[in-house]
Amino acid sequence: MSEQPKGWRGTTILSVRKGDQVVIVGDGQVSLGNTVIKANARKVRRIGDGNIIAGFAGSTADAFALFERLEEKLERFNGQLTRACVEMAKDWRTDRYLRKLEAMMAVVDKDVSLILTGTGDVLEPADGIIAIGSGGNFALAAAKALMDQDLSAEEIGRRSLKIAADICVYTNDNLTVETLDTK
Find the CATH number of the domain harbouring 31. Answer: 3.60.20.10
Residue 3, domain member (yes or no): no
Model confidence over 105-130: pLDDT tens digits?
A: 999 999 999 999 877 889 999 999 99
Model pLDDT, residue 8: 44
- Has residue 85 been placed in a domain? yes
Model pLDDT, residue 63: 76
**Residues 70-78: contacts with CB within 8 Å, 24+ apart?**
70/105, 70/107, 70/116, 71/47, 74/47, 74/48, 75/48
pTM of the model: 0.91
Is residue 159 one of the residues assigned to a domain? yes
In the chain, the number of structural domains is: 1
Low-confidence ranges of the chain (pLDDT < 70): 1-9, 96-101
Q: Would you please indicate which residues are annotated as catalytic (active-site) residues?
A: 11
Compute the chain's Rg from CA coordinates.
16
Containing domain of residue 84, as a range? 8-181
Q: For residue 173, what pLDDT is reported?
A: 95
pLDDT at res. 89: 87
